[in-house]
Structure 1
Amino acid sequence: MHVIYGGTFDPVHHGHLRLAIELCDRLGVDRVHLLPCHIPPHRGDTGASAAQRLRLLSLAVAGEPRLVVDDRELRRGGASYTADTLRHLRRELGPETPLAMVVGTDAFAGFYRWREWVEIPALAHIVVVRRPGPGLTPDSAPARLLAERRVGSPQALHEVPAGRILELNPPWLDISATGIRERIAAGRSPRYLLPDAVWSEIRQLGLYGACPEGNF
């Protein structure tokens, strides 16, 4: 099964990385593909450029063969729409290979606002990772979709190419990219919230208001 975990990764942190490793273990796959988006259609501008976010992500996963960076959305350019990405992947993988995409409960709650969202279950499975906060609104389109397509085990995703939804509740590291950006901008160190190599590169590039000589 091919598993993709997309996001802005602005910047990548230990919460992202720990979740990706948990996904490998729980879904029974050899690797998870991390897809940084080029222009996120559902949020404002990123704090770092696409190339800078890709560089930070590559540094973060260096030496971990189970985490693979996929830069297809950056190479494609323009707004990053999930349905387009899944179609590209489906053409590469063929019609029979199981394909799964990972989203948090907060993102899945707004799933009905995604472009061509009704087409997505035909292209891939959906793995919904439970996050702190309110769950799905009862009788909302995402809640109905989950009720119709929910499966109880990761094995069910390996059996067919697409169309099923699995909920996972892995241990959650309460780290946010927003909080890291705010901490850096305030002149406080985010060390141990993200890999040291990532923090070093952020300082070197002066990202998020970091001072190259400070914030150690």
Structure 2
Amino acid sequence: MTMRAWIGYGGTFDPIHCGHLAVANAVRDALDADVHLVPAADPPHKDATHADASHRARMVELAVAGERGLRVDRRELARDRPSYSIDTLHEVRAEVGRETPVVWVIGADSLAQLHRWHRWRELFDTAHVLAAGRPGFSLDPAGFAQVDAELAALIAARLRPLASLLDAPSGGIALLPMEPPRRESSTEIRRLAAAGDDGWRGQVPSPVAAYIDRHRLYARALPA
């Protein structure tokens, strides 16, 4: 059976939260294809993670259990080198062949920083990029000229309707507004957990909350 598309949604997921799931489900529904959540081992463009890779991947597995069309792809966790999206996409392209559409899902905040990614121009030789709305980050293409002129020009040249991503193997950019944008934040979840404030619990699926409690993942260490 021919695969409709390979869709990947990468991130540290430290921890995964309900906003991540909302984006993954929206992409799945919009493109009528499975979405692979890809926990990063050591993303070079972010600070060090707070929970180790095995915990973060397990939380993703707990979060997607029972969710139709959401899968976990652990390929980046096996690497003993920095984890770059372009390397993942080259691996996927080799697996699915030249004609299958490959889509890499990012947040609007990441789209604004795309020109800082490792070998970022190569992404479009291998995959499409789908940017989902995030609070505080506009998806208005005109606004990217204030960020970087080359990035703005590339977005303008490659922008296409979301559904048309499945008409070609790679090369496009599409936008997925989340209205209203999801406000969950892994940083805020960690801050609240470290402070002993239970306000974080509603931001994550209940099995993830139980896992965080069981392993005391983000609890502030007590003085020796």
TM-score of the two chains, using structure 1 as the length reference: 0.92
Aligned CA distance change for structure 1 residues 196 and 210 (closer, same or farther; 3 Å)? farther
CA–CA distance in 1 between the matches of 2:151 and 2:12?
22
Aligned CA distance change for structure 1 residues 67 and 10 (closer, same or farther; 3 Å)? same
Name the amino acid aligned to 1:180. I
Question: 2:155 aligns to what?
Answer: 146
Q: Does 1:174 align with 2:177?
A: no
Name the amino acid aligned to 2:66. G
CA–CA distance in 1 between the matches of 2:153 and 2:131?
14
Name the amino acid aligned to 1:205. H
Name the amino acid aligned to 1:175. E
CA–CA distance in 2 between the matches of 1:99 and 1:77?
25
Question: 1:126 aligns to what?
Answer: 129
Question: 2:43 aligns to what?
Answer: 40
CA–CA distance in 1 between the matches of 2:11 and 2:182?
16
Q: How many residues align?
A: 209
Shift of residue 206 of structure 1?
1.1
Question: 1:162 aligns to what?
Answer: 170
TM-score of the two chains, using structure 2 as the length reference: 0.89
Question: 1:108 aligns to what?
Answer: 111
Mapping 1:60-75, distance limit 5 Å: 60-75=63-78
Name the amino acid aligned to 1:98. P
Shift of residue 130 of structure 1?
2.3
Shift of residue 16 of structure 1?
0.4
SS at match of 1:208: coil
CA–CA distance in 2 between the matches of 1:7 and 1:104?
10
Q: Would the aligned equivalents of 1:202 and 1:210 in 2 still touch at CA under 8 Å?
A: no
Identity %: 41
Runs of 5+ in structure 2 lacking a partner? none
Q: Could you report, residue by residue, the CA deviation over 1:58-95 in whole angstroms, capped at 9, with x for unpaired residues?
A: 11111123110000000123211011000000000000
CA–CA distance in 2 between the matches of 1:77 and 1:198?
27
CA–CA distance in 1 between the matches of 2:149 and 2:135?
19
Cα RMSD of the aligned pairs, angstroms, is: 1.4
CA–CA distance in 1 between the matches of 2:196 and 2:103?
39
Shift of residue 164 of structure 1?
0.8
Counterpart among 193, 203, 215 of residue 193 in structure 1: 203
Q: Give the ranges of 4+ consecutive aligned residues of structure 1 lying more than 4 Å apart after TM superposition.
A: none
Name the amino acid aligned to 1:2. W
Runs of 5+ in structure 1 lacking a partner? 212-216
